[in-house]
Amino acid sequence: MRQPDPANPTAPLAFAIVNARVFTRDTRRTWADAVLVRGEAIVAVGGSAELRKRAGTAASVIDAAGRVVVPLATNGRLAAGEPADLAILDHVADASAPVVWDDAALVFVLQKGHVVVNHLER
């Protein structure tokens, strides 16, 4: 995963989480395949190919391998303009299954655009 550029410390980190089951908690689009984050905010939620392209070469691309991505807050949403507070869970789900988890299932956590848990790179 890309680390901050010491030559440009003000540049926000960018992450494209692709190949995921993104539980948006948004009534207009409950599920998506990818989420794009820049700095402390979600830029877009959509398809993996589209957001990988929008992320550009400077962004870190995280392949969620079908895992579920959820908002951290119980009333949070994963939508453009929302805070980049999300988690990747260590299980795969389909749209018909309820989304429930505990802390043991967290393999990646992003809070305010900062990685606080990363068990994906083992």
Distance CA 36, CA 45 (A): 6
Give residue-wise pLDDT tens across range 33-50. 999 999 999 999 999 999
Residues 62, 108 contacting (CB under 8 angstroms): yes
The whole-angstrom separation of Cα 26 and Cα 15 is 21
**pLDDT score at 102:** 66
Residue whose token pair is 């901050």 = 4
- Tens of pLDDT, residues 62-119: 999 999 999 988 889 999 999 999 999 987 665 555 556 667 678 888 888 888 888 8
- Residues 43, 80: contact at Cβ < 8 Å? yes
Q: Render pLDDT for 48-63 as a digit per residue (tens, 0 to 9).
A: 999 999 999 989 999 9
The string over 2-32, giving b where at least 16 C-beta atoms fall within 10 Å of a residue's C-beta and e elsewhere, is eeeeeeeeeeebbbbbbebbbbbbbeeeebb
Give the per-residue pLDDT at 9.
45
- Residue 38 is predicted with a pLDDT of 94
Q: Which superfamily is assigned to 14-118 in CATH? A: Urease, subunit C, domain 1 (2.30.40.10)
pTM of the predicted model as reported, rounded to 2 decimal places: 0.81
